[in-house]
A and B are shown apart, each in its own frame.
Chain A
Amino acid sequence: MSGLGLFFAILGAALAALLAGAGSARGVGMAGQAAAGVVTDQPDMFGRVLILQLLPGTQGIYGLLIAFVAMNNLGIMSGNPEVSCSLLKGLAYLGACLPMAIVGYISAINQAKAAVASIALVSKRPDQFGKSMLFPAMVETYAIFALLISILALNGVGAI
């Protein structure tokens, strides 16, 4: 069963990049559709709606960051993978990556819903752009919490 630990550790890194990235891709796509709808009739709104469209994209970056940290700890980045990684350690890596993977996916979709609603708000009330940014930004809080926990856990696992 040699290498099973490494497999689970890489699975964790992959899930963090995959789920958070998939959530962001879907979220940015949803907000992009709404943004394109607004810009069709109001081209001057481009700058404002673009910012709102990008908000659900951050989870993908966080997922990528967690994947990098995990792979760096495992020596994959330097070309010396920790083949001797125990099953327990590998599962611990997987567990450490899951907060970012799961919360990243869910928060990206929900942030996109808030962003779509905010884009509709901005299209009707351009003067409310500042406030409209806050609604989707609130969802970001939970993605940041997940990022924090995943980083702390990865650091802890690295010391095993």
Chain B
Amino acid sequence: MREEYIYAVARVRGKEQKLLSAPVMDSLVSASGVGDALRILSDHGWGEGEVTVSGIDEMFKAERKKTWEFIGELVKDMSVFDVFLYANDYHNLKAAVKETARMETRDSVFIDRSECTIDAETIRRALKDHDYGSLPEEMAPVAAEALDVLLHTGDGQLADIIVDRAALARIREAGAKSDNEIIRMYAELTVACANIKTAIRSCLMKKDKAFLNRALAPCDSLDVADLAQAASESTDAIYEYLGRTTYAEAVPEIRKSPSAFERWCDNLMIRKIRPEIHHPFTIGPLAAYILARDNEIKCVRMILSGKVNDLSVDSIRERVRETYV
């Protein structure tokens, strides 16, 4: 029993009540327009004052910041949640690699420090100076390799794959080290779903097995060698392979579309974290809250994007994820 999280979990219980429930999501979907949807969000405490369409990105940024500031108030050692931020670190690394190779500056693509374990500026400087000592030891060789590949081959996709695989490996490693079930589950599911997406995309792009072996990251719930073999053959071979794994239920969704599969992954994650609503003593409810907020922001972003682009209500509803509360 970890008594150190009792206060934090009680705080999270209060915050969980402010998460957007399924009926609220439904009212957002049914809103007459983006302005109406933003008003509903404002009523539920989103954004500072009145939010306009041009301020939507800022609103999401502020909401993500709110989550991490709140968790920061509760936990002394935030490194237990680094696993949720590695994807952002490596996103910044990809952006910095491209920026350095192409010698162009695009500040807007970098993710804010509050959502990363390492400052984007540190990564940019390390790449610019070819001095990787300031980067975490897992990131330094990847940064050097990705930049080298991009400078010598000009193959941006290959550089991305090197970084993406390293990100997944880091997430998996952090999951394996964690003593919390939710964090382990998050790491495994993230890596497995990313592998499935990569396998499908690579198969459609007729990539060879050598490429797949380089792109797919090891994980426990999938045999990466078998998945690479299947992806080098056909999409049917991938479906046949996945049908023999714990991801068999995902096959009909993958057949529908990549976005349907992504929705299936997000819903699976939410279903797996939902029991944390009843756990009072572990760090699990905090991790679950972070994931629930992430899912909520992703879902609202999708709804608002649909409203901005005048998609039909049914079309938006198809994309909406399950909610944590």
Whether A119 is near chain B, meaning CB under 8 Å from some CB there, is yes
Whether A80 is near chain B, meaning CB under 8 Å from some CB there, is no
Other-chain contact of B13, A29, A36, A120 (Cβ < 8 Å)? A120
A124 near B1 with CB under 8 A, answer no
Whether B14 is near chain A, meaning CB under 8 Å from some CB there, is yes
The residues in B between 10 and 26 inclusive whose CB is less than 8 angstroms from any CB of A are: 10-11, 13-17
Q: Digit string of A5-32 for contact with B (CB within 8 Å is 1, else 0)?
A: 0000000000000000000000001100
B14 near A34 with CB under 8 A, answer no
Interface size class of B (residues with CB under 8 A): 10 to 19
> Whole-angstrom distance from the CB of A100 to the nearest CB of chain B?
23
A40 near B280 with CB under 8 A, answer no
Whether A89 is near chain B, meaning CB under 8 Å from some CB there, is no
The residues in B between 273 and 287 inclusive whose CB is less than 8 angstroms from any CB of A are: 278, 280-281
B11 near A120 with CB under 8 A, answer no
The majority secondary structure among interface residues of chain A is helix
Whether B6 is near chain A, meaning CB under 8 Å from some CB there, is yes
Q: Digit string of B280-299 for contact with A (CB within 8 Å is 1, else 0)?
A: 11000000000000000000
Which residues of chain B are near A29, meaning CB under 8 Å? 3
Closest to A40 in B: B11
Alpha-carbon gap, A150 to B7, bound state (A): 35
Alpha-carbon gap, A123 to B13, bound state (A): 7
The residues in A between 102 and 128 inclusive whose CB is less than 8 angstroms from any CB of B are: 113, 116-117, 119-120, 123-124
Alpha-carbon gap, A125 to B3, bound state (A): 23
Q: Top 9 A-B pairs ranked by shortest CB distance? A: A37-B10, A41-B14, A33-B6, A33-B7, A34-B10, A37-B11, A37-B7, A116-B280, A120-B13
